[in-house]
Amino acid sequence: MQGMSLPRRIGMLTAALALAGAAFAQEPVLEIDVGANHRQVTRAELLANPAVRTIAVTDDVSYHRPMRYRALPWSALLHTADPVTGDVQFTADDGFVANIPAAQLNGAGQAWLAIEPAKAPWPALKAGGPSAGPFYLVWLTPAKAAISPEQWPYQIAKIASAAPLELRYPQLLPKTGDDAAQRGLHVYTANCASCHQLNGAGDATIGPDLNRPHSPTEYFQEDYLRKLVRDPASVRNWGQRVMPGFSTAVLSDAELNDLLAYLRQMAKQRP
């Protein structure tokens, strides 16, 4: 460096800082706030965990094909032996929020946190867009635990404990003894609340509120509402459409009936 002019030195220093900054920005961080676990971990730290394995996901919900990942079993992600209860909330970069019961995460569906390696990036979810990384919750045997596609959050930024949605937002509770509406509440929280609010209640605002100012059970004919939930593009379609379809494999006809019973009940008790 001796003899180098000051402006040139400053120039080199700036370039070095910019490089360091770029390297830092490329290293994604996951925020964990579950039970007694409060920490921020980098991708490299997660990948260095000795419990990381290569797993094969036969029917990947987001990529619609078999995938292989470097991944950490859910049980190895948390440092404590204390059982985590209630819900665990996965917040994605785009505002998608999945609230998944801890019992399901610890259960027969076999949840793993897939981690996208810097040197082996995953494919884009949609042409030209980002991948499901850097952190993505996948399941090895989802059918064993009735895991819905909305319970595969991707682009995860934060994982936190939360009380179940309907306890945090009592305005989601149907005030009726009708069993169908009560069951429908759980169909709603598992499949719809990751994007929608209802009565202003919920964690996500990707889609419109499903009861305020009006319920879709009021402004859609029932057969079109059923079609819309099954396959939104069959009712109306455009390039930026976001709402996914729910086939009978994901949402049985009985569950759709319960969901509509719930939405009709909520239309009657709008605050």
Nearer to ligand HEC, 86 or 216 (CB): 216
| Residue entry with tokens 């000051």 | 6
164 counts as binding ligand HEC under rule CB under 6 A: no
Nearer to ligand HEC, 61 or 210 (CB): 210
Can you tell me the distance from the alpha carbon of 206 to that of 241, in angstroms, rounded to the nearest whole number? 11
Cα torsion angle, 247, 253, 255, 260, sign: positive
194 counts as binding ligand HEC under rule CB under 6 A: yes
Six token digits for residue 147: 């895991």
Angular region, 227: left φ>0, alpha ψ -120 to 50, beta rest: alpha
Amino acid letter for position 169 = Y
228 counts as binding ligand HEC under rule CB under 6 A: yes
Angular region, 125: left φ>0, alpha ψ -120 to 50, beta rest: alpha
Q: Write down the least CB distance from residue 32 to ligand HEC, Å.
A: 24
244 counts as binding ligand HEC under rule CB under 6 A: yes
Task: Say how far residue 5 (Cα) sits from the centre of its chain.
Answer: 53
258 counts as binding ligand HEC under rule CB under 6 A: no
Binding mask 207-226 for ligand HEC (x = CB under 6 A): xx-x-----x----------
Give the Cβ contact number of residue 21 at 10 Å.
10
Distances in Å between the Cα of 127 and the Cα atoms of 123, 132, 133, 149, 152 are 9, 12, 15, 21, 20
Contact call for residues 267 and 176 (beta carbons, < 8 A): no
Amino acid letter for position 104 = Q
118 counts as binding ligand HEC under rule CB under 6 A: no
| Residue entry with tokens 């934060």 | 158
Closest Cα to residue 135, out of 115, 108, 163, 162? 115
Can you tell me the distance from the alpha carbon of 39 to that of 96, in angstroms, rounded to the nearest whole number? 21
Q: Write down the least CB distance from residue 48 to ligand HEC, Å.
A: 32
Binding mask 23-62 for ligand HEC (x = CB under 6 A): ----------------------------------------
Q: Write down the least CB distance from residue 172 to ligand HEC, Å.
A: 13
User: Binding residue for ligand HEC (CB under 6 A) from 41, 46, 67, 192?
Assistant: 192
Q: Write down the least CB distance from residue 163 to ligand HEC, Å.
A: 21
Q: Which stretch binds ligand HEC (CB under 6 A): 53-61, 66-74, 138-146, 188-196?
A: 188-196
Binding mask 143-162 for ligand HEC (x = CB under 6 A): -------x------------
User: Binding residue for ligand HEC (CB under 6 A) from 16, 23, 51, 242?
Assistant: 242
Nearer to ligand HEC, 52 or 185 (CB): 185
Nearer to ligand HEC, 101 or 232 (CB): 232
Amino acid letter for position 198 = L
Binding residues vs ligand HEC (CB under 6 A): 150, 191-192, 194-196, 206-208, 210, 216, 228-229, 232, 241-244, 246, 259
